[in-house]
Chain A
Amino acid sequence: MSAFLSIAGLHASIDDNGTRKPILNGVDLDVPAGEVHAIMGPNGSGKSTLSYVLAGREDYEVTAGTALFKGEDLLAMEPDARAAAGVFLAFQAPVELPGVNNANFLRTAVNAVRRARGEAEMDSMQFLKAARAQARALSMPEDLLKRNVNVGFSGGEKKRNEVLQMALLGPSLAILDETDSGLDIDALRIVAEGVKALRSPSFSALVITHHQRLLDYLVPDRVHVMARGRILRSGGPELAHQLEAQGYAGFLAEAA
C-alpha cells in the first residue's frame, strides 16, 4: 500500500540565467495519512523548493523521481488540479494581488475547488458567513477580507491570511512553509490551533519551520532534517529538540 504522500528520489533544478542549477538532489519522504511531519534545515537547503514542486510551480523542472499523493502521480497534475485534489501550500512569502478583493479571491478559489470536487458552490452570503467566522477564529481584523489580496498586509497578517485560505479550502494535505515566522506569540498559538482543528485520519501536514515553538504546539509525528536538497535524517519529535540545542553543524559534517 502506498503512503498518503510518497516522495521518492526527487530531483529538481531551476534555470539560473541559462545554466541548470540543481536544488533537490534526491528527496525521499513518506507522510502517512493522519500524520503531521516537520521539515527543518538550514537556509537555502531546498525546503521551499520542495513545497513549490509539490504544489506544481512550473519554473522548477523535475529531472528525476516521483511524488504520489493518494496513489496518484502528483507531478503530472496542473497546480489547480492539485488544489482540487486536496493539496494546499501556505507560502513562505505570500504574493500580493493589486486590485483583487480578498473576499472575492477567496470565494472564487473556494468555489473553483468545490466545483472540481463535485460539491455545491457557495453563494456570497454563505461564503461571507463562513469567511467571517474563520477570520474571527484567527483573530483577523474583518477589514482584511475587504482589502486587496495581501497588499499592504503586515507580515503576520499575510501569514494569517494563508491560514484563513487553508481553513476555507479544506485541504487533505497542508504544506506550511514557515507559516510561523513573523507571527507574534498569540498568533502562533492561533495558527497551531488552526492546523490542529483540521487534524483527522484523512488529513496530513508537512510543516516547514525553523522554530521549536510551533512544534511544541503541534507535536509532530516525525521530524526530518533537510540539507543540500536531501532528507539527511528523520526521527521523532526529540530530533527537533536536539537540533535546537546543537544546530545543524553536526548533521552536515556527518553527512559530508
Chain B
Amino acid sequence: MPAVAETLNTVESLTQSSYKWGFETDIEMDLAPKGLSEDTIRLISARKEEPDWLLAWRLKAYAAWQTMQAPGWGKIGHPPIDFQDVHYYAAPKKKPGPKSLDEVDPELLAVYEKLGIPLKERAMLAGVEVPDGGEADGRDGRPQIAVDAVFDSVSVATTFRSTLAKAGVIFCPISEAVREHPDLVRQYLGSVVPAADNFYAALNSAVFTDGSFVFIPKGVKCPMELSTYFRINAKNTGQFERTLIIAEDGASVSYLEGCTAPMRDENQLHAAVVELVAMDDASIKYSTVQNWYPGDANGKGGIYNFVTKRGACRGARSKISWTQVETGSAITWKYPSCILQGEGSVGEFYSVAVTNNHQQADTGTKMLHIGRNTRSTIVAKTISAGRSDSTYRGLVRVMPKASGARNFTQCDSLLIGDQCGAHTVPYIENRNMTAKTEHEATTSKISEDQLFYCRSRGLSEEDAVGMIVNGFCKDVLKELPMEFAVEAQKLLQVSLEGSVG
C-alpha cells in the first residue's frame, strides 16, 4: 500500500482516540434555561451584578443582532444553528472558599490537571488561599505564568494577582473588572469591536459571560506571561467570552489563551470577542493555542468556533502581534486583525491552521494601514489532511494617508493525502502610491522522499510526519512563547497522528 493511503487509514484509526481533552466533568452547575431573549440577557446581567449602562449596552447589541444575518461568505458549511437551543449561562455552583486543596472539588482539580496546569497554579485556581508572597516563589525554576481559568460562563480564578498588582498590572475576570474598574471597561469595551460589528460579535456583546481583563499602565513591562484557559464543559451551552487588553504608553505584555472542550455528539457554539488596544510605543503579543474538540472522524460533533479578534494600534510605534495555532474545532471562522492607526505602528499575524477528518477552517487576518509608515507581516501556514478543507482569507488594505506603508504576506499550504483542500484568498487594496505590498504563496505535499528518508533513519511514521510538519510551521512556532512552543508542537503531531503523502 502506498504511504499516502496507509497514512490516511492510520489517521482514521487514531483520530477517535487522540483527542485526550475530551473528558467531561461532573460538577454541580447553575444553568440558565435554554433560549435567547431580553430576559436571558437581563438574567446574565443580574447574575453578574452589572451596572445599568452595561445592561443597556447588551440590549442594544441584542436589538442589532436580531436584524442581522449570519455571514455567508466563508468557505464553510453547516446546518443552521438554532440559537434558542443553547444555554447562555452555566456556572459551577459557588461554595465557601476552600482552605486547602483537600477541600476543593476533586473533579475541578482533575480538570486543571488534564489541562496541564501546574500543581501550584491549580491550587490557586481552585481558590485555595495562599499566604501573602507565597504565590511568587519560583523555586521549581519554571518561568512564572499567571493563569485565569474560564469554565463555561465564569472565570474560576486568577493566579499571581498580588505580584501583578505590585507592578500595577490588572489581570482579572472581566466581570470583576466591570465592578472594580468600571471607568476603564466603559472607556474601552466595544471601542475596537463595536457591539454591532458583525453577527457573531453582536451575539457576543449581548450575552458575553466572562473572559479576561488586562490593563498594563504606562511604562510597565508585565513581569510574567499572562494566560487564560477556556473550557466549555456543560452540555448544550455556548461559550461567549470577552477579552479586553489595554497597554498604555510604553507598556508591554505577552498573553496566551488555550482552550479545550469535552467530546460530544452535538455541535457546540463558541463566539468570542477579543479587543486589544496599544498606545504609543506599547506592544501586545497575543498567542492562541486553540484545541476545541474537532468532532469525530465522521464529522459528528465538535465546536463551532466563530471568533472576532481585533487589535487597535492607536499609538505611534505601537505593535500588536497575533500568533495562533489552530488545531481544534469542527468549524473555525476567525480573522485576528490589526488597525494600524499610529504612525509607524506594526501589525503581525503568524498562523498555523491544521484541519483533519471533516474539519473546516476559514481563517486569516486583516491588516488595515491607516497611519504613515505602518508595517505588517503575515505568515500563514495551512495544513490539511483527511477530508478537511482549509482556507486562508486575508485582507491588506492601505488607506490613502498611509504613505510608506509596507506589507509582506507569506501563505504556505501543506496537503496530506488527496481528499483535502487548501485555498488561499488574499485581497490587497492599495490606495497609496508609496506603499508596498508583497505576497508569496506556495502549496506542497509532504513527499514520499521526505517520509522515507526520515523513516529510514528510525523514525516512526508519526514522528516523521510530526518532524516534517513542525519544520513546515517553524516560522510560526518560533513566535510562540518558549513554554508553549513545545506544547504546540506536540499538539500538531497529535492532530495529524498518522497522516501524510
CB distance from A152 to the nearest CB of B (A): 14
* 13 interchain pairs, CB-CB under 8 A: A52-B452, A56-B452, A79-B455, A80-B458, A95-B449, A95-B453, A97-B450, A97-B453, A97-B454, A98-B472, A99-B473, A165-B457, A169-B457
CB distance from A99 to the nearest CB of B (A): 3
A15 and chain B: residue at smallest CB distance: B2
A residues 129-152 near B (Cβ < 8 Å) are 148
Is A113 an interface residue when CB atoms closer than 8 A count as contact?
yes
Q: Is the CB of A97 within 8 A of B467?
A: yes
Q: How far is the CA of A98 from the CA of B473 in the complex (A)?
A: 10
Q: How far is the CA of A55 from the CA of B454 in the complex (A)?
A: 12
Q: Which of A78, A96, A99, A116 contacts B455 (CB 8 A)?
A: A78
What class of interface size applies to chain B in its complex with A? 20 to 34
* Given A100-B467, A100-B468, A80:B460 Cβ within 8 A: yes
Q: Which residues of A contact B66 (CB under 8 A)?
A: none
Q: Is the CB of A100 within 8 A of B455?
A: no
Chain A 6-21, CB-CB to B under 8 Å as 1, else 0, gives: 0000000000000000
Looking at A80, A94, A110, the one whose CB has the most chain B CB atoms below 10 A away is A80
Is A105 an interface residue when CB atoms closer than 8 A count as contact?
yes
Is B3 an interface residue when CB atoms closer than 8 A count as contact?
yes
Q: Which residues of A contact B475 (CB under 8 A)?
A: 99
* Given A59-B2, A84-B458, A148-B471, A108:B452 Cβ within 8 A: no
* Given A100-B471, A112-B463, A95:B458 Cβ within 8 A: no
CB distance from A122 to the nearest CB of B (A): 13
* Given A97-B467, A98-B471, A99-B474, A109:B458 Cβ within 8 A: yes
Looking at B2, B454, B457, the one whose CB has the most chain A CB atoms below 10 A away is B457
* Given A98-B471, A98-B472, A58:B458 Cβ within 8 A: no
* Given A80-B460, A100-B467, A112-B460, A56:B472 Cβ within 8 A: no
Looking at B449, B463, B473, the one whose CB has the most chain A CB atoms below 10 A away is B449
Q: Is the CB of B456 within 8 A of A56?
A: yes
Q: How far is the CA of A243 from the CA of B454 in the complex (A)?
A: 35
Looking at B452, B456, B471, the one whose CB has the most chain A CB atoms below 10 A away is B456
Q: Tell me the B residues contacting A by CB distance below 8 Å.
A: 1-3, 6, 447-450, 452-461, 463, 467-468, 470-475
Q: Which residues of A contact B449 (CB under 8 A)?
A: 95
B4 and chain A: residue at smallest CB distance: A58
Q: How far is the CA of A57 from the CA of B449 in the complex (A)?
A: 9
Q: Is the CB of B448 within 8 A of A59?
A: yes
Q: Is the CB of B459 within 8 A of A109?
A: yes
Q: Is the CB of B1 within 8 A of A89?
A: no
CB distance from A256 to the nearest CB of B (A): 34
Q: Is the CB of B453 within 8 A of A108?
A: no
What class of interface size applies to chain A in its complex with B? 20 to 34
Chain A 54-76, CB-CB to B under 8 Å as 1, else 0, gives: 01111100000000000000000
Q: Which of A55, A59, A95, A112 contacts B450 (CB 8 A)?
A: A95
Q: Which of A59, A108, A165 contacts B467 (CB 8 A)?
A: A108
Looking at B452, B458, B463, B472, the one whose CB has the most chain A CB atoms below 10 A away is B458
Q: Is the CB of A58 within 8 A of B1?
A: yes
* Given A97-B467, A99-B475, A58:B456 Cβ within 8 A: no
CB distance from B176 to the nearest CB of A (A): 42
Q: Which of B452, B453, B458, B470 contacts A99 (CB 8 A)?
A: B470
Chain A 150-177, CB-CB to B under 8 Å as 1, else 0, gives: 0000000000000001000100000000
Q: How far is the CA of A144 from the CA of B457 in the complex (A)?
A: 18
Q: How far is the CA of A83 from the CA of B459 in the complex (A)?
A: 9
CB distance from B232 to the nearest CB of A (A): 33
Is A91 an interface residue when CB atoms closer than 8 A count as contact?
yes
Q: Is the CB of A83 within 8 A of B458?
A: yes
**The 10 nearest A-B residue pairs measured at CB:** A99-B471, A100-B471, A83-B458, A109-B457, A113-B458, A99-B474, A79-B455, A95-B453, A112-B458, A95-B449
* Given A58-B2, A79-B452, A108-B467, A99:B459 Cβ within 8 A: no
Q: Which residues of A contact B6 (CB under 8 A)?
A: 58
CB distance from B492 to the nearest CB of A (A): 12
Q: Which residues of B contact A99 (CB under 8 A)?
A: 470-475
Q: Which residues of A contact B471 (CB under 8 A)?
A: 97-100, 148
Q: Which residues of B contact A148 (CB under 8 A)?
A: 471
CB distance from B1 to the nearest CB of A (A): 7
A117 and chain B: residue at smallest CB distance: B458
Q: How far is the CA of A52 from the CA of B456 in the complex (A)?
A: 9
Q: How far is the CA of A254 from the CA of B437 in the complex (A)?
A: 66
Q: Which residues of B contact A88 (CB under 8 A)?
A: 456
